[in-house]
Amino acid sequence: MKTMKATAGKAMFGLLVSTALTLTASAASARDLTVGLPGTVVTLDPHMSATVFTDLNIASHLYSALVTRGPDLELAPDAAEEWTATADTTWRFQLHPGVTFPNGEALDAEAVKWNIERVLADETSARIKPWFELVDEVNVIDKTTVDIVTSAPYPALPDQLSMFFLLPPEWSAENDTNRMALGTGPYDLVEFQEGNFITLSAKEDYWGTAPEFEEVTFRFIPEESTRISALLAGEVDFVTSIPTSEIERTNQNEGTSGDAVASTRTMFLRFNSKVEPFQGNAMLRRAMNYAVDKNLIIDSLWDGYGEVARCQPLSEDYFGYNPDLEAHPYDPEQARSLMVEAGYPDGFDLELDVPIGRYLQGSEIGQIVAAQLTEIGVNVQITETEWSRWLDKLYNDGMSQATYYGLAWPTLDAGGVMAFFEDGNTQNYQDDPEFTSILQEANSSVDADERLALYKTATERMCESAPILFLFQQPYTYGISDEIEWSARGDDWARAMDMSVAGSAD
């Protein structure tokens, strides 16, 4: 494996991209920024999506959260000036006074209460409802003080709230929050052309620290070659998910640079354990894990960047990562033997969904995995699907027998990632009540050692039951104009507020 330029652990995020050149006029003025993203925004309503790299990333420009997570990945104040646990099951948040939405509504304790209750309401069908499964009630103490009371201790609640963005109650009741936005964030929505671009403008009277760029445009460019060409031609200032093979060309191009840093995203094939052949057949799922040469993919496709997943959906950056687990070795003979024991000596047909314009070189990886599975008798039929349609299938119980998928969670707590495998989650495609019970016990423990022990038990159970084909941590790759300064985070957040014009601080 090729060593990333960032160090392991949280320090990996400290890689500073700092260069200087003049942008072409078509890319941006000295105060504008254009970003090329591989996927489109599905919704502007931050309660209806848990997708960081597009939906929530855009939402962070438009709306405030109670707390935020800065480039150093530490929690920092946003709408809440301070927060504290006043009891084992109560978190108190003190709000910044005088913050209002553009229509005059106050971002006060009542607004916070309304937002949480909106997410919890069954009729909302909020995608982020599982984040609040432990919340019992929200109490308004005064205009700027709100208590969130949980049914059990919830030590990770402030971390989770860093991705919970606050809408104006009255405006939201009368407008389409999926296609319109009215927030207290540093930017206002100017134009949203679905599948094409979204343009934002900086608030003139933003209550917090004013962003440096007056106008920001996010262009949705799913094709990797088109995205890279746009950067090299000066049409955009920043792009993500470029093939590692293109990093050298990006660095050799006058006015741009590129890099790959370690990321927190683990990639895998997610099995639909609610249907045949994977339903109730852990042995077959384990067989699949021996059939894919993960190192070959990393070396041949990613030039050595990336790390093989060690039988868990977590990288070593997470609280709860289990260092005692080992990756399944590439062993096609073992895979065939287990398939015989699992009742499939002659193999089987497999439908595999692969989303387009989301994961780094997902199409190529799907083809390589399919070819290797064919060697053990699994005949794979790949269906490539546009990102928003793929999400719709996933959320609405329409997943095929397997799908190429990846998870990362900015809180860097194992509970955030593993929640996607517990009962009640809209993206869960397994039936394991015991796993859910272990995870819920871990999430409610205020004792760090106990939580680690429970997370260890949960990861061991996942490794044994193999609800997924564990693959690897994909690298976070990007290209950037030499006039833009930015600290590479590796956690999918690419925010204009974290970027600046090179030399502007001198």
Residue 310 has pLDDT above 50, yes or no: yes
Pseudo-torsion of CA 369, 357, 232, 260, nearest 10°? -50
Q: What is the rounded CA–CA span in Å between residue 73 and residue 410?
A: 8
Q: What is the rounded CA–CA span in Å between residue 388 and residue 403?
A: 14
- The answer to whether residues 195 and 222 touch, using CB atoms and an 8 Å cutoff, is no
446 shares a domain with 331: yes
Q: What is the rounded CA–CA span in Å between residue 239 and residue 231?
A: 7
In a domain, 180, yes or no: no
Q: What is the rounded CA–CA span in Å between residue 362 and residue 405?
A: 9
Which range is least confidently modeled, 35-44, 348-357, 379-388, 423-432? 423-432
Average pLDDT of the segment spanning 57-66: 98
The alpha-helical segments, DSSP class H, found in 352-494 are 362-374, 387-395, 414-418, 433-443, 448-465
Task: State residue 8's pLDDT score.
Answer: 33
In a domain, 489, yes or no: yes
Task: State residue 339's pLDDT score.
Answer: 98
The model's pLDDT over 286-299, given as tens digits with 9 standing for 90+, comes to: 999 999 999 999 99
Q: What is the rounded CA–CA span in Å between residue 113 and residue 82?
A: 17
Average pLDDT of the segment spanning 56-78: 93
Average pLDDT of the segment spanning 101-116: 99
- The answer to whether residues 479 and 237 touch, using CB atoms and an 8 Å cutoff, is no
Task: State residue 2's pLDDT score.
Answer: 53
- The pLDDT confidence band at residue 392, using thresholds 50, 70 and 90, is confident
- The pLDDT confidence band at residue 432, using thresholds 50, 70 and 90, is confident
- The pLDDT confidence band at residue 505, using thresholds 50, 70 and 90, is low
| Pairing label, strands 238-240, 468-473 | unpaired
- The pLDDT confidence band at residue 19, using thresholds 50, 70 and 90, is very low
Residue 21 has pLDDT above 60, yes or no: no
- The answer to whether residues 322 and 314 touch, using CB atoms and an 8 Å cutoff, is yes
- Average pLDDT along the chain: 91
Q: What's the burial of 123, exposed, middle or buried (CB within 10 Å: 0-12/13-18/19+)? A: exposed
* CATH (domain of 389): 3.10.105.10
End position of a domain, from candidates 113, 143, 174? 174
The model's pLDDT over 366-383, given as tens digits with 9 standing for 90+, comes to: 999 999 999 999 999 999
Q: What is the rounded CA–CA span in Å between residue 132 and residue 117?
A: 10
In a domain, 331, yes or no: yes
387 shares a domain with 314: yes
Residue 409 has pLDDT above 90, yes or no: no
204 shares a domain with 133: no
Average pLDDT of the segment spanning 455-477: 97
Average pLDDT of the segment spanning 108-128: 97
Q: How many residues make up the chain in this entry?
A: 506
491 shares a domain with 469: no
In a domain, 18, yes or no: yes
Query: Angle, nearest 10°, between helix axes 448-465 and 282-290?
Result: 90
- The pLDDT confidence band at residue 244, using thresholds 50, 70 and 90, is very high
The model's pLDDT over 123-136, given as tens digits with 9 standing for 90+, comes to: 999 999 988 989 99
- The answer to whether residues 471 and 292 touch, using CB atoms and an 8 Å cutoff, is yes
Q: How many domains does the chain have?
A: 3
Residue 414 has pLDDT above 90, yes or no: yes
- The answer to whether residues 213 and 27 touch, using CB atoms and an 8 Å cutoff, is no
Kindly report the number of other CB atoms within 10 A of residue 24's CB atom: 14
Q: What does the DSSP assignment read for 273-303?
A: TTSTTTTT-HHHHHHHHHS--HHHHHHHHST
For the chain, the farthest-separated pair of C-alpha atoms sits apart, in whole angstroms, at 68
In a domain, 141, yes or no: yes
End position of a domain, from candidates 174, 200, 216? 174
Q: State the residue range of the domain holding 211.
A: 14-38+186-259+476-501
200 shares a domain with 103: no
* CATH (domain of 202): 3.40.190.10
304 shares a domain with 414: yes
End position of a domain, from candidates 143, 174, 205? 174
Which DSSP state fits 166? P
Which of the pair, 4 or 187, is modelled with greater confidence?
187
- The answer to whether residues 456 and 325 touch, using CB atoms and an 8 Å cutoff, is no
203 shares a domain with 93: no
Which DSSP state fits 504? T
353 shares a domain with 209: no
Task: State residue 429's pLDDT score.
Answer: 74
Tell me the sheet residues that pair with 217.
34, 199
161 shares a domain with 190: no
Task: State residue 506's pLDDT score.
Answer: 53
- The pLDDT confidence band at residue 279, using thresholds 50, 70 and 90, is very high
- The pLDDT confidence band at residue 270, using thresholds 50, 70 and 90, is very high
In a domain, 53, yes or no: no
* CATH (domain of 162): 3.90.76.10
In a domain, 422, yes or no: yes
Q: Which tokens go with 90? A: 């109560």
402 shares a domain with 480: no
28 shares a domain with 70: no
273 shares a domain with 226: no
In a domain, 6, yes or no: no
Q: Which tokens go with 376? A: 């053990």
Residue 184 has pLDDT above 60, yes or no: yes
Residue 3 has pLDDT above 50, yes or no: no
Q: Which tokens go with 262? A: 């370690």
Q: What is the rounded CA–CA span in Å between residue 102 and residue 96?
A: 16
